[in-house]
Structure 1
Amino acid sequence: MKLLLVEDEPLLLEEMENYLTEQGYLCEKASTFKEGEDKINLYDYDAIILDINLPGGTGLQLLKLLKNQHRDTGILIVSAKDSLTDKLTGLEMGADDYLTKPFHLEELNARINALLRRKSFNGHSKIVIDHLEIDTAAHEVRGKNEIINLTKKEYQLLLYFIINKNRVVSKQSIAEHLWGDHYDMVDNYDIVYVHTMNLRKKITASTGTDYIKTVYGIGYKFTQS
């Protein structure tokens, strides 16, 4: 899952990035209103961790920008202000949750997990497609009575395909999702092909079904028979 962390406190921003990266998320950062605005206009994210007080603007202004663009991105507001007014304003504008500083990183992770389950998988931590089962809480994938050993990128790619089930996803969108700000380093998308083919082989070998179809000249599509 791809996250954007918008936070002006350098130490907290670094701590969040390090911890959430260890939990398997792809994290991008912004420390000012302008940086957050630029990233929101350029990229799509599964969830955004949004501080209210930012240099050059507010997190609520960024929230308004997202909602004006009709994005379905999950929004978790974090702020040092323990104000009922701030909480209600953020939630009424479309935020999904609110966390008051200081907070434990474990609680932040739990809130993000719950938010993403609600947004992407109707609140469930387990997704079952025929003989394929994904436990998003345990980061575990099973085929026919066996665990499918996936790399971190393969696991992220599988979830991306499932979220976009029956849609064609381009190689560029996959590269942006898996490598974030560094996707332009993927020169000719050969690495996207390699990750996709490795995932496809593992899933097919364990379930007996090839869910990932190649759409020539464009990208790939995850389909369920």
Structure 2
Amino acid sequence: MKILIIEDELALSQTVEEFLKSENFLTETAHDFHAGLEKALTYDYDCVLLDIMLPGGSGLDILMALKEEHKKQPVLILSAKDSVEDKVLGLEIGADDYLAKPFHLAELLARVKSIIRRNARDGEKLLQYKNVTVDPDNRQVMVDGKEMVLNRKEYDLFYYFMLRPNKLMEKTSLIESVWGDSSDQADSLDFIYSQIKNIRKKLKEAQAEMDLQAVYGVGYKLV
């Protein structure tokens, strides 16, 4: 799962980023309005952590831009401005929740997981397709009630597909979902093929009623 942190306080941004990484999230950061707006509009995230007061503009304007572009990016506002007016306005514009600074990291994690659950899976705790069930909180994959063990990269890729069954996913989107800001460091897309191959093998061995189908020259989809 990929999180975008739009926060100009560098120490706080780094603390949140390191904490979320320790919880197996992929993170990207932006420290001003323009960088945050560009990333939020260009890429897809499971959740955006958004500060209101940013150099160059307001986080509320980023919310407005997401709404105008019909980008359904779940947003959690993080701001020292704890007035009722700011909270109500943010939620009316399209934010999913509001967390005032200072906050405990454990509470942040709970809010993020709740938002992702509500938006990605219509409020259901478990994600299920055919005879496969994914428990995102425990990063566990079950096939007919038996665990199918995946490593971290394999799980991240498979979860990405499980959120979008029968949808063609381009290779570039897949590499961004796993590498994030470091995607340009990959010399080729061969490692995606390797991960896909491993997942397909494990799905077959576990007798899952699905497969990752290659679409030549484009990408893959879960069928």
Q: Report the TM range for the smaller structure's normalisation.
A: over 0.9
Give CA deviations for 1:134-178 in whole Å, capped at 9, x if unaligned.
Answer: 111211111233211111111111111012211110111101111
Contact 2:7 2:30 in 1 (8 A): yes
Partner Cα distance (2:133, 2:208) in 1: 13
- In the superposition, the TM-score normalised over structure 2's length comes to 0.96
Partner Cα distance (2:38, 2:190) in 1: 28
Shift of 1:98: 0.4
Give CA deviations for 1:190-213 in whole Å, capped at 9, x if unaligned.
Answer: 011011111121122113434211
The equivalent residue for 2:59 is: 59
Partner Cα distance (1:68, 1:130) in 2: 35
The equivalent residue for 1:82 is: 82
Q: Secondary structure at the match of 2:146?
A: coil
Q: 1:208 to 1:37 in 2, by over 3 A?
A: closer
Partner Cα distance (2:83, 2:10) in 1: 23
The equivalent residue for 2:113 is: 113
Shift of 1:68: 1.1
The equivalent residue for 2:36 is: 36
Gaps of 5+ in 1: none
Moved more, 139-148 or 69-78: 139-148
The equivalent residue for 1:45 is: 45
Q: Secondary structure at the match of 1:20?
A: helix
Q: Secondary structure at the match of 1:49?
A: strand
Moved more, 27-36 or 201-210: 201-210
- Matched residue type, 2:195: H
Give CA deviations for 1:21-62 in whole Å, capped at 9, x if unaligned.
Answer: 111111000111121122123322121000011111111011
Give CA deviations for 1:116-149 in whole Å, capped at 9, x if unaligned.
Answer: 1111111112122232111112111112332111
CA RMSD of superposed structures (Å): 1.2
- In the superposition, the TM-score normalised over structure 1's length comes to 0.95
Give CA deviations for 1:75-108 in whole Å, capped at 9, x if unaligned.
Answer: 0001111110000000000111000111111111
- Provide runs of 4+ in structure 1 moved above 3 Å: none
- Matched residue type, 1:115: I
Contact 1:132 1:207 in 2 (8 A): no
Identity %: 41
The equivalent residue for 2:16 is: 16
The equivalent residue for 1:197 is: 197
Partner Cα distance (2:98, 2:178) in 1: 27
The equivalent residue for 1:160 is: 160
The equivalent residue for 1:150 is: 150
Contact 1:2 1:177 in 2 (8 A): yes
The equivalent residue for 1:219 is: 219
Partner Cα distance (1:58, 1:78) in 2: 12
The equivalent residue for 1:123 is: 123
The equivalent residue for 2:135 is: 135
Partner Cα distance (1:127, 1:42) in 2: 26
Gaps of 5+ in 2: none
Q: Secondary structure at the match of 1:72?
A: coil
Q: Secondary structure at the match of 2:94?
A: coil
